[in-house]
């Protein structure tokens, strides 16, 4: 099954800066989701964008989806030290089951 | 409070000693899934269930079993654990949607994880 490929693998920024993370994929999707994981803990859902949507916002998060390029980006504005975590994109497929396939994740470090 | 619980949170065991990791959700979700997380490999799905008595293999099912006798519970069974099953395990659940005859998953709620070491 396909897996989203996140880019970059690691990102280090200063507090207050914006962080942009990308996810690319190869086949059709029903939706694309972003999750955050603090070290060793369970994943927390951030935002879901459907294949017929182009942009969604949630607080300081902005997600875009370009189905023609098969890519998505997650933008965190005005980052905080508490945003330090791993971020995963997950693909909701169009197959017979409702499986989500997770990428390998992006490590974000926000320096105070 | 809506949540997914897993037990135990930490487990150290020896090769070949059968073990069960329990997972329970209180949100009446149809879909439940088990993942393992290993450094550099991300999350890989072990098994999933789309409803009671409906389970299927994920990407890495070898060495694992599951059952779904009740909607809220989805235990993961390792009949004969081996060192290569040392990993961080997550259970997750979600509602399911349907569109044009196909199912899709909404946001998944994750348990806190079970760190398993097999020596």
**Nearest-by-CA chain A residue for B103:** A98
- What is the rounded CA–CA span in Å between residue B82 and residue B13? 9
Radius of gyration from C-alpha coordinates of chain B: 14
**Nearest-by-CA chain B residue for A98:** B104
DSSP 3-state assignment of A82? helix
Neighboring chain B residues of A104 at a CB cutoff of 8 Å: 40-42
**The pLDDT of residue A98:** 66
CA distance A80 to chain B (A): 24
Whether pLDDT at A55 is above 90: yes
Q: Are the C-beta atoms of residues B115 and B60 closer than 8 Å to each other?
A: no
Bridge partners for B12 per DSSP? B117
Whether pLDDT at A60 is above 80: yes
- What is the rounded CA–CA span in Å between residue A33 and residue A30? 10
CA distance B71 to chain A (A): 16
Query: Using alpha carbons only, what angle is made at residue A103 by residues A99 and A105, rounded to the nearest 5 degrees?
Result: 140
Looking up tokens 């004969």 gives: B80
The separation between CA A58 and the C-alpha centre of its own chain, rounded to angstroms, equals: 13
CA distance A27 to chain B (A): 15
pLDDT in 10s for each residue of chain B, 119 residues? 889 999 999 999 999 999 999 999 999 999 999 999 998 888 999 999 988 999 999 999 999 999 999 999 999 999 999 999 999 999 999 987 776 666 677 889 999 999 999 99
């Amino acid at each position: 099954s396909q897996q989203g490929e996140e880019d970059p693998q690691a990102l280090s920024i200063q507090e207050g800066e914006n962080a942009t993370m990308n996810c690319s994929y190869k086949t059709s999707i029903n939706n694309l989701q972003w999750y955050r994981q603090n070290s060793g803990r369970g994943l927390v859902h951030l935002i879901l964008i459907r294949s017929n949507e182009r942009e969604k916002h949630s607080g300081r998060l902005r997600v875009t989806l370009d189905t023609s390029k098969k890519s998505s980006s997650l933008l965190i504005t005005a980052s905080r030290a508490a945003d330090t975590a791993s971020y995963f994109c997950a693909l909701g497929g169009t197959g017979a089951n409702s499986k989500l396939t997770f990428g390998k994740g992006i490590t974000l470090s926000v320096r105070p | 409070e809506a949540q997914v619980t897993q037990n135990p949170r930490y487990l150290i065991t020896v090769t070949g000693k059968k073990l069960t990791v329990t997972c329970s959700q209180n949100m009446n979700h149809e879909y439940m899934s088990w993942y393992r997380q290993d450094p550099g490999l991300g999350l890989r799905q072990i098994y999933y269930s789309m409803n009671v008595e409906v389970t299927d293999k994920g990407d890495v099912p070898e060495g694992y079993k599951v059952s779904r006798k009740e909607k809220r519970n989805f235990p993961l069974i390792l009949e004969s654990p081996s060192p290569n099953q040392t990993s961080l395990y997550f259970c997750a659940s979600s509602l399911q949607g349907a569109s044009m005859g196909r199912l899709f998953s909404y946001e998944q709620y994750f348990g806190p994880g079970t760190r398993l070491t097999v020596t």
